[in-house]
Chains A and B, each alone.
Chain A
């Protein structure tokens, strides 16, 4: 199944943008290293890696009167 020239062009452009996204994501990850250090020190290196952990954070941050 071949791609049309339009699909190829769109695909290439998306790849270029994704590459920028990926670099930005790495920058974000770097920013977070200092925060992560605390998590590792606390003995929970897996924290935040799955939706259940994220849900726990949401629950922790909710306002009690809500």
Chain B
């Protein structure tokens, strides 16, 4: 058993566990070792629970031996953004104020993960009080982008994305109020789903702005996001905004792009995009078309109509949530958070109510016009690649409003309309930083988005790439030769065949393609099902 296991994707790991070719304890120990090694240079975790995790993994192995697997995530290590309440455990929300907060309830989403058999390994770093798209944190240290540790991860679900990119765990949970799943997913080269408002229970989750907040799955692939979504979605009577509706099976097997209709606004609209980001986005549209999707040009409404009221709601509700602490413990917030919170007290109640009242009407108008003839809207996530930590540090100064808008301008409107959106990696800048795009869908069309995302990842390899420094961490991992082209039609998503080859490779130390360790020293590493 080697630490290579920590780099397994969830679908492959689950299959190997089911076949008893990998033990839950072995997989969990590998993840814990990877987490420990990354502590100083990535800083993705706020808390790690090795004893509890190993004990849970031992129980999971015993249950499997007794023929009693719990569910689809049996034995799979998982970590979550530190905003979820677990009875008896501390939930810091990335803040000094909640450093000792010990909730007396457990979040519904955690109960469902436990029922599905997931192994809880730790709580992940985030922006203080879920309040910045940079992912920086003055209290627990900045989370660093695994692709370049001098750069930010994006936020606020910084640790959730970095832990995946650094191959510390195969699955994480993030939250998204204005882009907090999609932004770090794009800047770290991983996959993240912002679900429809109401699909996933928020009971037991610390709020940022209750009218906009959602929790969602993050992973390295759409397939793994689908697996996680299936475990956590669904009605919860403890969440008054939980949707009561029959859930589809979030299966992605056999998904194809042929027949999918993708609305694309490019050409019609001028977005403020870095040239490298623009090139990667355009290439992703071509890849979707080449693989059979129908591209539907669309004219978009002014996004000011959605961004402005989203901002009003975000600020007003955020300030209301923090009123008491802002009066009594102001000094325990970082200055940037205080600045943002205080702004909310100057929003007239009428504007807040107008913003809420306009919402359903604007949603209806958007779905019936822009989305009328399409399954998904192709859209940027962030117009730039991950800024350096030094650049993002200027967030504290007067540049803050412009910087926040630059970071969230493409994502916040989606939360206002409550729509689902899947962030997918689609390339790299010349300096090796990831670029992503999002597919925005109609209400509760997560299954369709995940299937389109899976089909896109079936013909591309961006989601399989890993930072070069990981080669040293997983020297025995099976790998594929570096890619020579933009697309790789031969690359198939994780499957039973891939898992079989991975199992063989783990035993032999030889890559499925016959590569040796020396071969792996060349360039980025990638293999379906084992993405390091």
Give A residues with C-beta under 8 Å from B.
1, 4, 6-7, 9-11, 13-15, 17-18, 21-22, 24-26, 28-29, 31-32, 35-36, 47-55, 57-59, 61-63, 66
Cβ contact within 8 Å between A13 and B445: no
CA distance A17 to B347 in the complex (A): 11
- Chain A residues closer than 8 Å to B245, beta-carbon distance: 59, 62
B window 198-229: CB within 8 A of A: 198, 210-211
Cβ contact within 8 Å between B343 and A58: no
12 A–B pairs (Cβ distance < 8 Å), ordered by A: A10-B401, A11-B343, A14-B343, A15-B343, A18-B343, A18-B346, A22-B312, A28-B309, A48-B360, A53-B360, A63-B442, A63-B448
B window 213-256: CB within 8 A of A: 240-241, 243, 245, 248
Point out the residue from B311, B339, B358, B398 that lies within 8 Å of A29, measured CB to CB.
B358
CA distance A15 to B401 in the complex (A): 10
Task: Classify the secondary structure of B's interface with A.
Answer: helix
Chain A CB within 8 A of B359 CB: yes
Point out the residue from A7, A49, A59 that lies within 8 Å of B338, measured CB to CB.
A7
The listed residue with most A CB atoms (<10 A of its CB), out of B197, B357, B446, B447, is B357
Cβ contact within 8 Å between B348 and A22: yes
CA distance A50 to B498 in the complex (A): 48
CA distance A61 to B351 in the complex (A): 26
- Chain A residues closer than 8 Å to B444, beta-carbon distance: 58-59, 62-63, 66
**Closest Cβ–Cβ distance, residue B296 to chain A (whole Å):** 16
**Known A11-B342, A13-B401; contact A28-B335, beta-carbon cutoff 8 A:** no
| Stretch touching chain A among B139-147, B361-369, B474-482 | B361-369
CB nearest neighbor in B for A9: B398
Cβ contact within 8 Å between A4 and B196: no
Cβ contact within 8 Å between A24 and B357: no
**Known A14-B400, A28-B305, A58-B418; contact A63-B445, beta-carbon cutoff 8 A:** yes
Q: How large is the interface on B (under 10, 10 to 19, 20 to 34, 35 or more residues)?
A: 35 or more
CB nearest neighbor in B for A20: B308
**Known A47-B360, A50-B356; contact A62-B338, beta-carbon cutoff 8 A:** no
Cβ contact within 8 Å between B354 and A28: yes
Give B residues with C-beta under 8 Å from A.
196-198, 210-211, 240-241, 243, 245, 248, 304-305, 308-309, 311-312, 315, 330-331, 335, 338-340, 342-343, 346-348, 351, 353-364, 367, 396-398, 400-401, 418, 442-448
Task: Classify the secondary structure of A's interface with B.
Answer: helix
CA distance A14 to B403 in the complex (A): 12
**Known A11-B339, A15-B346, A28-B308; contact A6-B442, beta-carbon cutoff 8 A:** no
7 closest Cβ contacts across the A-B interface?
A57-B360, A48-B360, A62-B444, A58-B443, A29-B354, A62-B443, A66-B445
Cβ contact within 8 Å between B312 and A54: no
**Closest Cβ–Cβ distance, residue B444 to chain A (whole Å):** 4
- Chain B residues closer than 8 Å to A53, beta-carbon distance: 360
Cβ contact within 8 Å between B339 and A25: no
CA distance A24 to B315 in the complex (A): 16
Cβ contact within 8 Å between A18 and B196: no
- Chain B residues closer than 8 Å to A63, beta-carbon distance: 442, 444-445, 448
Point out the residue from A14, A24, A50, A62 that lies within 8 Å of B445, measured CB to CB.
A62
Cβ contact within 8 Å between A21 and B312: yes
Point out the residue from A1, A35, A51, A58 that lies within 8 Å of B210, measured CB to CB.
A51
CA distance A13 to B400 in the complex (A): 9
Point out the residue from B210, B240, B397, B443 that lies within 8 Å of A61, measured CB to CB.
B443
Point out the residue from A25, A49, A66 that lies within 8 Å of B308, measured CB to CB.
A25
Cβ contact within 8 Å between B357 and A49: yes
**Closest Cβ–Cβ distance, residue A15 to chain B (whole Å):** 6
- Chain A residues closer than 8 Å to B362, beta-carbon distance: 32
The listed residue with most B CB atoms (<10 A of its CB), out of A31, A36, A48, is A48
CB nearest neighbor in B for A38: B361
CB nearest neighbor in A for B247: A66
Q: What 10 additional pairs, Cβ within 8 angstroms, besides A25-B351, A48-B360?
A: A14-B400, A22-B347, A28-B308, A47-B360, A50-B356, A58-B243, A61-B442, A63-B442, A63-B444, A66-B248
Cβ contact within 8 Å between A61 and B367: yes
**Closest Cβ–Cβ distance, residue A2 to chain B (whole Å):** 11
- Chain B residues closer than 8 Å to A21, beta-carbon distance: 308, 311-312
Cβ contact within 8 Å between B361 and A24: no
Point out the residue from A1, A10, A48, A49 that lies within 8 Å of B331, measured CB to CB.
A1
